[in-house]
């Protein structure tokens, strides 16, 4: 199946494939798995059924020219890869026939053509609009993670202007729900985290009611050179949280031990977070409470202030 047409990425209308290959050859390709029927009237190359670009192109072909790629699929196409882009998210005008189905999530929106840009030949909502929507209504730690990625991709001198554009989008949304939470998340983002896991950890710490920590705080040696960065820290209290993800710390046990010893020598209390802790932060919460009490502080924490309605925790 030819894929030379811009924006197809291995997805084609069934009628076009039939015209090109003939009905018998097309049915044979479907039986053999060379072709796959993604949705009614849309075929994709059998080797590309898990390719986000291919599936997104198939969704646009299925939904028609009124549809625009949005939400997590849009952030992925904009280069913010913290959240899986599949299932494909499409936004269509109110009253459009499109409804959710396996592999496709449908949203309704206004002024879509005004805010659409083209990426890899596909219609995609502008990143500032997508971020405003996600910050208002979706999982806050995921929204913060993609916002941090978006800010990191912007030159430092331009980050505040980008943040302001997202803030204006939040204010001007036709649906007022979630605006307050979105504004809090927007203020929390720094663009300084080095991984989505660090962004999600930042959200969890603040949502548990702890003070907002500094992100990737540099620790210097006697010559003023940076020894390493602390994932999250309250330098005024000499308290730090270090996230030990599986991949980043595999085989680094000796280096991590030396880093821990150096921090303790400098008077830091270090609370380590493992990937498994993200399902249940109760141990981390207890250790941080103990650390702040050791510094003479008893926090009056208000838990869960940033959580969305009907929030279901995931790792």
- pLDDT for residue 3: 40
Report whether pLDDT(199) > 70.
Answer: yes
Report whether pLDDT(253) > 80.
Answer: no
Peptide bond into 87 cis (omega under 30): yes
Please tell me which residue, 2 or 132, carries the higher pLDDT value: 132
CA-CA-CA-CA torsion sign (250, 254, 255, 259): positive
- pLDDT for residue 244: 87
239-260 burial code (b ≥16 CB/10 A, e <16) = bbbbbbbeeebeeeeeeeeebe
- pLDDT for residue 305: 52
Total H helices, total E strands in the chain:
12, 12
Q: Which CATH number fits domain 196-294: 3.40.960.10, 3.40.50.300, 3.30.70.270, 3.60.21.10?
A: 3.40.960.10
Segment 272-276 shows an average pLDDT of 91
| 203 closest CA partner among 179, 219, 187, 180 | 187
Taking the CB of residue 194, how many other CB atoms lie within 10 A of it? 15
pLDDT per position as a tens digit, 72-98: 999 999 999 999 999 999 999 999 999
pTM equals 0.88
- pLDDT for residue 300: 81
Q: Where does the pLDDT of residue 304 fall: very low under 50, low under 70, confident under 90, or very high at 90 and above?
A: low
- pLDDT for residue 255: 84
Could you give the percent of the chain with pLDDT greater than 70? 91
pLDDT per position as a tens digit, 150-186: 999 999 999 999 999 999 999 999 899 999 999 999 9
Per DSSP bridges, beta strands 88-92 and 104-108 are parallel
Report whether pLDDT(6) > 50.
Answer: no
The encoded tokens of residue 64 equal 């028609």
Segment 107-113 shows an average pLDDT of 91
Boundaries of every domain in the chain: 11-125, 129-188, 196-294
- pLDDT for residue 311: 34
- Answer for the pair 203, 177: CB distance below 8 angstroms, yes or no: no
Report whether pLDDT(221) > 70.
Answer: yes
């Amino acid at each position: 199946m030819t894929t030379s047409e811009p924006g197809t990425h291995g997805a084609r209308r069934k009628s076009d494939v039939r015209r090109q290959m003939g009905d018998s050859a097309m049915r044979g390709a479907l039986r053999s798995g060379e072709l796959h029927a993604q949705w009614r009237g849309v075929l994709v190359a059998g080797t590309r059924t898990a390719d986000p670009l291919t599936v997104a192109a198939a969704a646009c072909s299925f939904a028609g020219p009124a549809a625009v790629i949005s939400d997590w699929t849009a952030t992925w196409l904009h280069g913010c890869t913290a959240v899986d882009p599949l299932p494909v998210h499409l936004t269509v005008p109110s009253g459009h026939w499109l409804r959710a189905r396996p592999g496709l999530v449908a949203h309704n929106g206004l002024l879509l053509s005004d805010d659409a840009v083209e990426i890899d030949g596909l219609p995609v909502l502008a990143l500032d609009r997508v971020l405003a929507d996600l910050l208002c209504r979706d999982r806050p730690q995921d929204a913060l993670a993609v916002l941090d990625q978006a800010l990191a991709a912007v030159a430092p001198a331009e980050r505040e202007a980008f943040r302001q554009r997202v803030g204006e989008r939040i204010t001007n949304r036709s649906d007022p729900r979630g605006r307050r939470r979105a504004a809090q998340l927007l203020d929390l983002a720094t663009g300084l985290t080095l991984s989505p896991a660090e962004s999600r950890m930042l959200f969890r710490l603040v949502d548990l009611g702890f003070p907002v920590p500094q992100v990737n705080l540099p620790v210097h040696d006697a010559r003023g050179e940076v020894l390493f960065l602390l994932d999250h820290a309250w330098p005024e209290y000499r308290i730090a949280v270090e996230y030990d993800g599986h991949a980043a710390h595999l085989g680094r046990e000796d280096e991590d031990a030396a880093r821990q010893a150096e921090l303790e020598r400098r008077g830091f209390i270090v609370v380590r977070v493992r990937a498994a802790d993200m399902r249940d932060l109760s141990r981390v919460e207890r250790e941080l409470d103990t650390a702040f009490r050791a510094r003479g502080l008893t926090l009056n924490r208000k838990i869960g202030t940033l959580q969305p309605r009907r929030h279901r925790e995931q790792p």
